[in-house]
Structure 1
Amino acid sequence: MSPLPEILFDVARNPFLAVGLPIGLGMASGFATGQSSRSNWFKNMTPPPGNPPKEVFGPVWTILYGLMGYASHLTVRAFDSAVTPSGTAQADQALQLYYGQLLLNLLWTPTYFFFKQKELALGNILALFGTVTAMTVKMHNLYTPFSTTWFLAPYCAWLGYATYLNAGYVFLNRDRK
């Protein structure tokens, strides 16, 4: 028996809901981020080298949320078609990691922008990166029609870059509150 509520499996079973849920939550988070990223607190910080224009983040995150959502759909299909208890358990664990990373992902924005806790946000993104890596490994080993790794590799790469940016803002602005 999975600790996840059945509704989370049902969301992932529907490809439109599986893709739409993270995109919708990401859009809500992005709207809030857009407002906060125009604040004096953020504008007055020294950005790390290679910091992209803020207009890049919305399209990139929309694509990444869609890809991770579709990976969750493939994972629940593997769960539903698993013929061994270990196959079911692995898919279940991958879905738990998926929803856990989605929560960590969505917590980063208020931690960084609303509470202005760059250091705590860095800890969050490091935990997120670890969770996404574990999720990618779990999903990679599932029997799916397409390798979920192709859907998650861009997310892993972007998280590495986002972690660099967060760490850069912490390091370059350590004397600012």
Structure 2
Amino acid sequence: MSNLHLPTFLLTVARVPLLAVGLPLGLGLLSGYPTAKVVQSDWYKNLRTPPGRPPRQVFPVVWPLLYISMGYASHLVVNALDGASSPSAKSDYMLVLALYYTQLGLNLAWTPLFFAAKKTGMALIDSGIMTAATFYMTKLLAAHYPAASYLLWPYCAWLSFATYLNGGIWWLNRRTHGNAKHE
């Protein structure tokens, strides 16, 4: 893994706290913006959902907090990378950052998959990969920088819950006419 490289731009973004926090927050808000119209649609209102789904008003509160937390964690990681002296630690921090940007891309892809394309099965696959990458990233970070990993554990918990919700929605609606044509 020591040959892992990220574009300089991504490292630069993470080095500036405002940009590190602003990138996931801004992209998340842009990605989620079209959702407001879809949640008013018959398609969304008629979805069967698993037990435990919170009111939809919870999501626009939780997600910005998680985006801020993960963005600041990326800032702490790049600072740790810059100060790391061992090749092993540098390699692990680079892997954490690569996983961070990967999961961020998967996160941003989820909303269009689920809400715009109505492909709940594809969104579930995306969510599963994103959750696995985030848990691995957080576990790896916990070994080197536990304080930074604390910022990511709530995100891991929420992704697990969100994946459960997505899986339940896919399962409960997989045979309905409106969903079958989208899968």
Give the alignment's TM-score, normalised by structure 1: 0.95
Task: Report how far residue 30 of structure 1 moved.
Answer: 1.6
Task: Report how far residue 101 of structure 1 moved.
Answer: 0.3
The secondary structure found in structure 1 opposite 2:175 is coil
Counterpart in the other structure of 1:167: 167
Counterpart in the other structure of 1:151: 151
Which of 64, 81, 85 pairs up with 1:79? Answer: 81
Unaligned runs of 5+ in 2: none
1:28-83 CA deviation, whole Å, 9 max, x = no partner? 11212222222211111112111111111011000000000011001001100001
Counterpart in the other structure of 1:134: 136
Deviating more after overlay: 83-92 vs 99-108: 83-92
Distance 1:22 1:169 in 2: 26
Distance 1:26 1:131 in 2: 18
Instruction: Give the aligned residue type for 1:61.
Output: W
- Kept after mapping to 2: 8 A contact 1:75/1:142: no
Which of 40, 57, 60 pairs up with 1:38? Answer: 40
Instruction: Give the aligned residue type for 1:97.
Output: L
Which of 109, 112, 116 pairs up with 1:110? Answer: 112
When the two chains are superposed, the root-mean-square deviation of aligned CA atoms in Å is 1.2
1:118-152 CA deviation, whole Å, 9 max, x = no partner? 11111110001100011101221224xx6122101
Q: Percent identity?
A: 47
The secondary structure found in structure 2 opposite 1:141 is helix
Deviating more after overlay: 37-46 vs 75-84: 37-46
Give the alignment's TM-score, normalised by structure 2: 0.92
Residues paired across the two proteins, number: 175
Distance 1:149 1:82 in 2: 17
Which of 101, 104, 126 pairs up with 2:103? Answer: 101
Counterpart in the other structure of 1:17: 19
Distance 1:162 1:43 in 2: 18
Instruction: Give the aligned residue type for 1:169.
Output: I
Unaligned runs of 5+ in 1: none
Counterpart in the other structure of 2:52: 50
1:143-164 CA deviation, whole Å, 9 max, x = no partner? 4xx6122101100110111011
- Kept after mapping to 2: 8 A contact 1:15/1:70: yes
Distance 1:74 1:123 in 2: 29
Distance 1:87 1:164 in 2: 33
Instruction: Give the aligned residue type for 1:148.
Output: A
Counterpart in the other structure of 1:125: 127
Runs of 4+ aligned structure 1 residues displaced above 2 Å come to none
